[in-house]
Structure 1
């Protein structure tokens, strides 16, 4: 507060300092309570600084009139109220008028000493009149006015105005400098982006330069190899014959593998038929077992019936003459049951033998067949992988399933006429057709048909095409 109070006459500063407490003179004045709370939280609580703050009244008291005009007090030696001895911002003046009644505290001379009724100042003394809150009696006290320490410096209005103009000019200059800084920062950002672009171009050019150097080295290496091959005099005829011999050996191995596979398939078919026969025999054995049970029950029933007719006891063994026919029938039935039991045992033993033979035969041909299918699957997968596709073969209960995919985004599907097109089943999409044309030194059998497709913007029309003339011209060359 003391920084914004300007005492008009330095001799009157002591009255202001004596009337306003020092804690308030060094306090900060706020218009809004929220601002004061934020300020105290930051400075006092966060930074641990000892400061004072006061809050100006919401309704300004800076122009509040005194209780009586100063003219009525001049005969007592008073020449002005305390408010009229200094200048201050409206908020500060409002707080001082409201808190310390500076608008109603007169300042007098020595002749006012004997007529003190309220707080007033003489040339060197302060007089105050206090009324007791409990007894209502009035007491008067006086004290010497302390010399001024802080408000002796008067503020020159003209100097203040010039300083404010200089501050305004400086603020405008700062705004212009800020605008220039923003423009400079934007320009620097553009230059940084351009620098990054040039660095990226430089990096790309460096990579191209490195690739060029690598290609030059490869070309040089290939040229050296070519010169060495030309100087070495490689026998192309011999190399071709050796390659044909190797291809013939591989084809022979393929034929042998296919023949072995067909033999295993025939053996599998034979075993499947034997398995069907064994199933039928098993069913016949089951029927014989059921027939045996029915005959045994029938015999037991006939025996009970015979005993009932003859009135025989269970332990009696003598058979009446008229029942010999029944006994013979029983004996015949019993023998037939024994024969059926023996036949059932024979069939069961034969069935166990068949099952053992089938298991052993299955082990003999199934394991080699699985190994063969795995070899075929590896070669099949390698072939499809070379065409940027995927494929596999697996053995099922009834044959071999081929699963392929021609695009990386799809799953493996079984190779059938319904799921893949003819071009896909043969593996000939545009990419793989181009790969086939890129393969050199292909071997063609005599039974192979070669189809030549002639196409392009400079192709001859059909009526000008003469295949025989082209062949003769090629043979002459």
Structure 2
């Protein structure tokens, strides 16, 4: 590979002891230079080196090595994304992303697929499309024109696992379906979600996963919601649980306090009203005492009634006993007659049982006979089947005899055909005819290909000419534009550089990142007054540098522009820049201090252009370290500058370069001064437009050439048509020849197959003959089986006859039993009629006993019911002694007279307000209930207060510690961009009103102010949002964080601040950790 250099000027690389002040050369960058000079070679591939690599290799002599995939695998947290692969997903057809373990920035113009990567991460981890704020259906993420999309995400394994987790999902457009795999095995979605949750990934948390379309949503989060999301992202799970419990406890506490105050006020009101009813209540209580006595007398009714019914019960019991004794005496007197009737009834019962048994025996005999008859029928069926089988054998033998004759006739016919041999089939002759025609066809096809290739070549040339016409027309149209003027100027200075720039613009799709053209085209001087000073810092090669951002892009440029097999350009200069302008810039002092020394600013501040080009110029031209000014310096200013850290500056029309030799002391300096020339390139003056005439002449020649090609193409097209017709005719001839060949070959093949057919027919004849020879043996076997079945049928018939005789015997025995049963029934009826008078007398006496006994039972039940009523009254425990002293001889009539007397007394006492007592008692019950409720509420409130205090003592210190850590990181982030910020917690009596308070200061004359939409601009709020997320990073329990459109809503100033802060914080933390 060619050696690396920074231009045609010799630049020295400082040793470890050299200072920045004594070094006029820029820091080395990975560049590629080619000129008229000899090109050196090294053993190392320059395409793999960045400017950082060159710095380290030049200064320390350490060889550079990279791992196979471009980044180290160390440092990944469990659950971190190590690889994302997508296929036919949104804008991607096939892509693989390999993020590193620290900061990963995806940079590109709008529409290049940055947000598509974020969508792939969200969907690939099992979360819904609602988290993206974009399409509602998963099928809408399938690339247009494709049926399926695939996402594969590899997550870092846990220490105890053997391999990383690979989650794969396939989205099918039809039906909006998804199918999941984990480590190659198909799995349901819930398993994927369980794995993701187990790794601490929260895609639904805006503090961890912030898609482009939800950036504004996150910025608009209320402070209360921000506290909730912060705890989800960075706090242990129990803290969010504690917060929720505190909210519930506070809500419960407020409810208890409100209810307690209401109940206490209600109790005071009820007690005041109760005192106003006491007079009416006392009169009502006297009336109530009388009513109570009346109620007592009325409740005595069951006791008096029980005494009456008990006396009646004793009388009925004695009558029932007497009736029973009379019945027993009468039954003893007539017992022999009754016994005779009972004996005859027993005999009748036994005869009935015997008749039933004989009927059962008859049924069993009939079933046995039926079984034997079924076996006889089965034997008959077997005999019939054998007869049918014998008939089939006889019919088959008859058919086989017919087959003998047919086979013999077929053999004779085949042998006759064998004697008539057809003409011999000459395959080679037929093939020769066909090949001759195919040869003609191939010659025509070869001519067709030549004409087609010629026509295609002509078409390509025509397309090239048309393309060149378009390019030249475009060049002509843009010649008068500023860009056209710049390109024309570039071509006048270096045609190789202009050619290289045109190739880059036509092949941008081959590069990983943007490749920038020469500074002459990409940059301009902001203020024309400084054009002379700025141009004096540049050599001619510095204006022609082409800048790449990756080693791979540098390699492509080197091979395509300088390689021996491609453009082989000479007068171009290639460089690689991988660091941002913020990382490269290293001005010796701030601009305001420079102004005090009489200079206006640093040269970099007066040049406008893409950041990578400016970064390259900082290394190649040192624009960040050279000061410029329009006015000449006085002596004091000059002396101050030569003693400062500024080593090169331009003032007025002079260029100063200060050399310091430390080995001779701090005052050993020498200054080189030279005059500067007027600017030649960045002057804004019109350039020579002689190229216009050349473009017009070129266009004329191209158009005339295109017309000639067009006429030639028409002729070739007509020739192709004629050749196509000739080819079709030959193909038809080949088709006819092949058909004739196949027919002749078929006839010859059939003749050759005749001996085989004759042999097969003879074998068939022998097979039929063999079956016929076995005919008699099969018939003898059938006859033997038939004889065996006939014998079995005869034996079964004999047994069936015996069973039929048994049925007849059983039937006669049953008839005998039935006759005896009728006789016994007649005897029983005769005896019963003879003893009917005796039976009637016993029955009458029994009925008399039953009536007495029934009355006894009824009275007893009534007495027991009243007795149970009395027991219930006594069980209540009221007035038990009074009920025990009731006179047992007291009657119901006497008791009713006492009740009427008490009711007369009650009529003399007026009831006044009859509802007063009821109201008094109801209110008293309410007072008692309120008192109990208040006591319970106070105890419950004490318990809730203790729970809140206990839970808060655990949660609040942890929250303060968490917010303090976030605030420290947040403030540190702001310090790196020259601003200030802090994070605090708004604490309220209600825990659901606790919130995050973010205070920021973006200007020196400001104080810290609350972050809201009224005090800060949209860009400043975006910067604050990003720094807050960065502050969460070191505390977050999640393995990674995603922010899409991190610079959304920022102006260039805020965007630079944010970029510098992000890079510093992430890589600074990484450097400290390493």
Higher CA-based Rg: 1
- TM bucket normalised to smaller: 0.3 to 0.5
TM-score (norm 2): 0.16
